[in-house]
Structure 1
């Protein structure tokens, strides 16, 4: 059982998770006790990653607050790597605002209100030309969302969030702040991977747990 499914054992809140589970195949020999124990170990080893996963897939507000604190702490530690030393007043509030936006973007799923692409969140659309040629329905990747199922977000919102507390030009935003924001998003992805690896590693090392889920 993958981590994103395991977190719903107590209280499956997300329609996105329910949809994933409906597509899951194979048998899992993980008992509820095994899952809870594995989650406890993962929380100890990868707190940020597990909080991010809860925030993303179950929309848990407590987990989101924990994830935001971790992300804001990371943001302050890397700020000097990207931002000019003479950034001026308001820069720390701007950094915090970008962390909030990065977490919001990371947590978007197809069941987030208003986040679905025109493809309905499926990430694919009917290829009419190929369907006519072959005489059967043919699907292709949605060109709008590139398969994510989500409406693409522009970085304009990030620039505007900074302008509220820290005046910068578009050129300054593109040169310094945009790469900084990319790093925040990448950090979220890394933490999720670390949590997944921690959870799976515990299950594989536990002789009383057998895992045959094909997901």
Structure 2
């Protein structure tokens, strides 16, 4: 079972993930206890990644708060490299606001209000011309969302939020400097997700192997 599907095994909160979970278990030998144990071990070793996933797929507020704090910590180690010293006394606030916006983007799913693309969140659409030409239904990735199922975002609202705290961040400065910082923070979220996923899969693979060995 994929980690994002396992998150709801104890207390489902996202209708979208519950639906995914129902068709993702496959021929697994893992019990509910095995999965919960694997989640606990993953959280102990890679808290940031697992909290990010909980915040994204179950919309858990506590996990979101922890994920934000972890993201702010990382941002503080990178800010001088990408932005330099932020003038004024609102530098720490600006970093937290930026991290909040990054987390909001990372946590968007097709069941997030207003996030769903015109394709209905599937990431796929019917190619009418190809369907008419071939005489059969032709499904292609949605050109609007590029298959993500999510309405594309601009960074304009993020720029305005930073501008309110750090005057002088022009549009050009935003895209030359701050936007790169934003993208690095977003990439960090996905890297932590991948690390947590890899650890969870390693733990469950060992557990499954042990269970099968005992059964034999």
Which has the higher relative contact order, 1 or 2, with Cα contacts under 8 A spaced 6 or more apart?
Answer: 1
Contact 2:5-2:24 within 8 A present in 1 as well: no
The farther-off stretch of 180-189 and 200-209 is 200-209
Contact 2:56-2:108 within 8 A present in 1 as well: yes
Counterpart in the other structure of 1:175: 176
Counting only pairs closer than 5 Å after superposition, residues 44-63 of structure 1 correspond to structure 2 as 44-63=44-63
Counting only pairs closer than 5 Å after superposition, residues 9-88 of structure 1 correspond to structure 2 as 9-24=9-24, 26-85=26-85, 87-88=87-88
Counterpart in the other structure of 1:162: 162
Normalising by structure 2, report the TM-score: 0.93
Deviation at 1:157, TM superposition (A): 1.2
Alpha-carbon distance in structure 2 between the residues aligned to 1:63 and 1:6: 15
Alpha-carbon distance in structure 2 between the residues aligned to 1:86 and 1:4: 37
Question: What is the RMSD computed on CA atoms of the aligned residues?
Answer: 1.4
Contact 1:14-1:58 within 8 A present in 2 as well: yes
Deviation at 1:201, TM superposition (A): 1.0
Distance 1:153 1:86, change over 3 A: closer
Contact 1:52-1:63 within 8 A present in 2 as well: yes
Counterpart in the other structure of 2:210: 208
Secondary structure of the structure 2 residue equivalent to 1:208 = helix
Deviation at 1:85, TM superposition (A): 2.9
Normalising by structure 1, report the TM-score: 0.93
The size of the alignment, in residue pairs, is 210
Secondary structure of the structure 2 residue equivalent to 1:70 = helix
Alpha-carbon distance in structure 2 between the residues aligned to 1:187 and 1:172: 22
Gaps of at least 5 residues in structure 2 are: none
Alpha-carbon distance in structure 2 between the residues aligned to 1:30 and 1:87: 53
Gaps of at least 5 residues in structure 1 are: 211-215
Alpha-carbon distance in structure 2 between the residues aligned to 1:200 and 1:149: 26
